[in-house]
Amino acid sequence: MGRKLLLAIDQGTTGTTGLVMDDQLQVLGKANVEYPQIFPKPGYVEHRAIDIWNSVEKAVTASLAKANVKGEELAAIGITNQRETTCLFRPNGEPLHNFIVWQCRRTTDICQELKRAGHEPMIREKTGLVLDPYFSGTKLMWLFANVPNALAMASGKEALFGTIDTWLVHRLTGGQVHVTDATNASRTLLMNLKTLQWDDEILKLMGIPRVCLPKICSSSEVYGQTKGLGFLPDGIPIAGIAGDQQAALFGQACFDQGEAKATFGTGCFILLNTGTKIVYSQNGLLTSVAISLRGETQFCLEGAAFIAGAAVQWLRDGLGVIQRSSDVESLAQTVPESGDVVFVPALSGLGAPHWRPEARGLFAGISRDTNKGHLARAVLEGIAMQNRDIMVAMQKDAGTILQLKVDGGAAADNFLMQFQADVLDIACARPKVVETTALGAAALAGLAVGVFDSKQAVRDAWPLDRVFQPMMQENERARHVRKWENAVRRA
């Protein structure tokens, strides 16, 4: 083998990205292909399998072309994916139903019924998750109840369950392999964190036959080889799998206990590596597998804020305060401080650690002197303050946080990153490569096939852009916290 090239397939909620990377994790070619979401009823969200597959084929083909690379030159493929989206498909890969997306709320009644029956404490103890339509288990229950013969087919292994990673590997290997990795399995409500296996008590409770479930593997091993594809040659190892947020944690080289990452996208996902210890949150967070690698499994605490970059988009599209999202930083800096103005980004309720779906967005402290600069500054500060609530909960649950690594589109905003470091009193490190999700998938695949000989080699390739050191005085930080907490109570 000459050049040690890796292909990452980042299969997301609204599109698929293909990235070709070298053995220094530099991006040589990148392509994104969007596809539609389907909304059959209020609260229902689905994907068509054919749309996802077409987006994968087009993204892979275009990224190879941009890198001027042939498929034969690839050492391995890594996959990262939207996590809880639920697939039920025949052994030939054909779906029995449209895939049910993680955002879908159709199983709210199922979750409430399980809660009323008193099952949530047992499920939380075993899986680290809460009973919520977000996760895959109740989605699969819905499919068995609503798709004719689905349960009988699954019991006879004529129908297979998986998250998106499972279905992609199955298709890429010509139907030869039915697997998932521990990070994705830990988001299904069906895997026991202590055994890293499907839990028989939960399967019985939910009426799910074990025979239809994929084998749970590590996040870095050769699962199979490409076979029978028109856009890639046979024989390329598929060697890395991780759910998108865990892939970003790995791509940020957060390998040690106490290291955390925050992905600033539409919302903000924060994960804290808790090492080999399973930490059950007492403060509104979720517990999942961070990574399963070479005989060692690390766990993480996770908190999600529903609105981050979406608040800036709302300033742009809803209020017309800015013309481009990138304008928000310069507008915020037209005023020396936000004064009494505070913004709570509860445009879709409040997520962790508050879990208040009824909460609504709020500007408070507005006076006759308030101008657009104050509003822009308050929006950025509000994004950082809700992340602070998540990080404080993490510290209560798990102790010291060493550093926060940041990525995602809004991480390019220097003002926001500095304010985030200030209110956390923790350094925030931003990498040069913001495609950390795909970077993590490529690194996991590279480890499995020897492109990298250790995690340290991945850490060495992690390219630092800038570290934002906290500079705010404690009394000023306390003032922002008081202002924020008063506003949250009113949201």
* Amino acid at the residue 72: E
Residues 6+ apart with CB under 8 A from 228: 174, 234
Global confidence as pTM: 0.89
Strand pairing category for 362-364 and 46-47: unpaired
Give the span between the Cα atoms of 335 and 376, in whole angstroms.
10
| Helix (H), strand (E) counts: the chain | 16, 23
- Judge whether 474 and 482 are in contact, CB under 8 Å: no
DSSP class of residue 432?
S
Check residue 1 and give its pLDDT: 43
pLDDT of the chain along its 491 residues, tens only? 456 899 999 998 888 999 999 988 889 999 999 888 888 988 888 999 999 999 999 999 999 999 999 999 999 999 999 999 999 999 999 999 999 988 888 888 898 899 999 999 999 999 999 888 889 999 999 999 999 999 999 999 999 999 999 999 999 999 999 999 999 999 999 999 999 999 999 999 999 999 999 999 999 999 999 999 999 999 999 999 999 999 999 999 999 999 999 998 878 899 999 999 999 999 989 999 999 997 899 999 999 888 888 888 888 988 888 888 888 888 989 988 888 899 999 887 787 888 787 788 899 999 999 999 899 999 999 999 999 999 999 999 988 888 899 988 888 889 999 999 999 999 999 998 777 888 999 999 999 999 998 888 888 878 889 999 999 999 999 999 999 999 999 87
Quick count: other Cβ atoms within 10 Å of Cβ 122?
A: 14
Half-sphere exposure of 160 (CA within 13 A, CB side): 24
Domain 253-491: assigned CATH number: 3.30.420.40
Per the omega criterion (within 30 degrees of 0), is the bond before 233 cis? no
What DSSP assignment string belongs to 189-254? T-EETTTTEE-HHHHHHHT--GGGSPEEE-SEEEEEE--S-SSS-TT-EEEEEEEHHHHHHHHTT-
First to last CA, the chain: 59
- Judge whether 246 and 271 are in contact, CB under 8 Å: yes
CATH 3.30.420.40 occupies which residues in the chain?
5-235, 253-491
At CA 199, angle to CA 11 and CA 116, rounded to 5?
Answer: 95
CATH architecture assigned to 5-235: 2-Layer Sandwich (3.30)
Residue 393 to residues 271, 286, 404, Cα–Cα distance (Å): 12, 11, 14
Check residue 350 and give its pLDDT: 81
Strand pairing category for 46-47 and 215-217: unpaired
Check residue 267 and give its pLDDT: 82
- Judge whether 382 and 416 are in contact, CB under 8 Å: no
Check residue 469 and give its pLDDT: 95
Structure tokens at 292: 């399963």
Question: What sections of 11-119 are H helices per DSSP?
Answer: 49-67, 108-116
Give the span between the Cα atoms of 23 and 451, in whole angstroms.
6
Residue 82 to residues 12, 79, 163, 194, 316, Cα–Cα distance (Å): 5, 10, 8, 24, 27
Check residue 210 and give its pLDDT: 96
Residue 191 to residues 6, 11, 177, Cα–Cα distance (Å): 30, 22, 20
